[in-house]
Amino acid sequence: MPRSKSKRTRYQPPPKPKPKPSPRWLGPVVLGLLLLGVAYILVYYIAPQYLVVAENSNYHLLVGFGLIAVALGLATQWR
C-alpha cells in the first residue's frame, strides 16, 4: 500500500531544473578561436623569415595565447 505524503519522514529535495542548452554558435566559435590562436603562433614563430615582423617582440605570442585563452573561457559555457 502506498504511503501518504504526510507520513514520510525522509526529506526529498525538489528536482533540479535542467540547464538551458548552449547556443548553436558557441561550438564553432570556440573551435575557430582555438585554431586561429594556434595558427597565429605557428605562422609568426615557425616562418618568421618570410614575414616582416619584429623578431625580438613577444607581441605575437601574447596575441596567440590570448585567442586560445578566450576560446577556453568560452568553452566553459558549453552545456
Q: Kindly give, in sequence order, each residue whose CB lies less than 8 Å from that of residue 9, ignoring residues fewer than 6 positions away.
A: none
Confidence category of residue 28, pLDDT binned at 50, 70, 90: very high
* AA letter at 74: L
Rounded CA gap, 69 and 78, in Å? Answer: 15
pLDDT exceeds 70 at position 3? no
The pLDDT, as a whole number, for residue 53 is: 61
Q: Kindly give, in sequence order, each residue whose CB lies less than 8 Å from that of residue 75, ignoring residues fewer than 6 positions away.
A: 30
pLDDT exceeds 80 at position 79? yes
Q: Look up the pTM and report it.
A: 0.72
Mean pLDDT within 3-31 = 85
The pLDDT, as a whole number, for residue 37 is: 96
Contact 25, 74 (CB under 8 A): no
The pLDDT, as a whole number, for residue 54 is: 59
